[in-house]
Amino acid sequence: MNAPHQRLKAKIYGRVQGVGFRVFVRDKALAYGLSGYARNRYSPQRHVEVVTEGPEPALQTLLHYLQQGPPLARVERVDVQWRPASGEFSGFNVG
């Protein structure tokens, strides 16, 4: 039986811009069959925002990667919100 789809919204703080973080997230998300987006945000402070949907086990795995980041990143904090999936995404975009 398939796991129900959920939505993960994460804000990742630290040295996460200019280090390939969004492409890292896209590659991991696509590898686990997730849809959504990753984009840089600047207010109230610099961070990467990730909104993605899919089966909860895959989202939990992605969350683990978000807490680590790519080699040049330094993740200081990840704020997470869980919601039911909306089904609005097709594919994974980097903005």
DSSP symbols for 51-88:
EEEEEHHHHHHHHHHHHH-STT-EEEEEEEEEEE----
Active site residues: 22, 40
Query: Which CATH number does the domain housing residue 63 bear?
Result: 3.30.70.100
Residue 2 lies in a domain: no
Residue 74 lies in a domain: yes
Residue 27 lies in a domain: yes
Tell me the percentage of the chain whose pLDDT exceeds 90. Answer: 94
As for how many domains the chain has, the answer is: 1
pTM above 0.75, yes or no: yes
Q: pLDDT tens, 41-85?
A: 998 899 999 999 999 999 999 999 999 999 999 999 999 999 999
Residue 30 lies in a domain: yes
Classify 62 in phi/psi space as left (phi over 0), alpha (psi -120 to 50) or beta. Answer: alpha
The whole domain housing 78 covers: 10-83
